[in-house]
Structure 1
Amino acid sequence: MTILIAEIMSTRVVTIDMDDRLTVVKEIFDAAPFHHLLVIEESKLQGVLSERDYLRTLSPNIGAINETERDNETLQRRAHQVMSRDPVTISPRKNIKQASQLMLQHEIGCLPVLDNGTIVGIITWKDLLRAFSQS
């Protein structure tokens, strides 16, 4: 049995603009149970900003007693300064084996799902693992 991406992808995708500050990203990641944001410009996908990208950018002193103004300035960076550009994407008509191969080949944790250039969903390694374990 072949499982298509359209059958298991998340269709509730959260996007941010290229010029959104990391303070916006922080609010989203603090409130939501997911780890990837799609970065858009004029409704077109420009990149992916993972929670790992975000955390790697922040000063380790944020929220600590020795936090300085300079540490806090890292939250003023913009999404386009932190995101991964030229993201690998997949069509909703592809199958989970193809998605798995792409993720392994490119060493990534998610694939934006595009249909004729329009964002229709996102699939993560957890979605793939869930689908494989239920098939």
Structure 2
Amino acid sequence: MKVRDILRVKGGTLYTVSPDEPLARAVETMAQYDIGSLAVMEHGQLVGMLTFREVIDSIARNGGTVGNVTVRSIMDDHPMTCTPETELDQVRPMMLERHTRYMPVMDGGMLMGVISFYDVARAVVEMQSFENQMLKAYIRDWPQEDAAPTGSETPGSQPTAH
């Protein structure tokens, strides 16, 4: 399975923010749409990612308030990315290694979407469930050896020669 398969199921909605937006406004957007990340775009280009991890870190450093900081001052300005053609078997270890919960999907210089660790986990579970169903169907339809008794044999007896 490839990242493009996740994007196809997920749909085309993409939430973005400008790097010069106040963090408070970005947090409002994240809360309004119940999302954990925003792609940070400037002049049509991805320049970073803002996730709840950066927001919480900023709030902790700012005495428990959002303060007057901008998105640019706390965003991850070097987010790990993948392409629509990246295999899920490659994405999972990448996300685990860097503790990344959200990954922008880039096709050349164009942002195609953002996948989350949840999206990846759901796709893997669905893929495994489908494989399990196929295996169970295959086993259920497994051809049986012709071991049934012929009419002259009784269970537990040896075949007799005629």
Q: If the TM-score is normalised by the length of the shorter chain, which range does it land in?
A: 0.7 to 0.9
| Counterpart in the other structure of 2:120 | 128
State the structure with more CA Rg.
Answer: 2
Q: In structure 2, what is the equivalent of residue 114 of structure 1? A: 106
Question: Unaligned stretches of 5+ in structure 1?
Answer: 63-73
Deviations 1:17-54 (A, max 9, x none): 11010121121122112101111111111111101211
> Matched residues in 2 for 1:110 and 1:97: separation?
16
Pairing of 1:1-135 with structure 2 (within 5 A): 3-9=1-7, 10=10, 11-58=12-59, 59-62=62-65, 74-135=66-127
Distance 2:86 2:44 in 1: 23
Give the whole-Å Cα distance in 1 for the aligned partners of 2:64 and 2:22. 18
> Compared with structure 1, are the counterparts of its residues 79 and 134 closer, same or farther at alpha carbon in structure 2 (3 Å cutoff)?
same
> How big is the shift at 1:61?
4.3
Name the SS for the 2:29 alignment partner: helix
Which residue does 2:136 correspond to in 1? none
Looking at structure 2, the residues matched to 131 and 30 of structure 1 have their Cα atoms a distance apart, in angstroms, of 25
| Contact preservation (8 Å) 2:36, 2:52 | yes
Q: TM-score, normalised by structure 1?
A: 0.83
TM-score when normalising by structure 2: 0.70
Q: Is the 8 A contact 2:30 2:38 kept in 1?
A: no
The offset of 1:124, in angstroms, is 0.7
Q: CA RMSD in A?
A: 1.4
In structure 2, the gaps of 5 or more residues are 128-162
Identity of aligned residues (%): 23
Decide which structure has greater strand share.
1
Shift of 1:60: 4.8
Specify which structure has the bigger relative contact order, considering alpha-carbon pairs within 8 angstroms and separated by 6 or more residues. 1
Deviations 1:74-129 (A, max 9, x none): 43211010101111100001111111121122221111001111001111100011
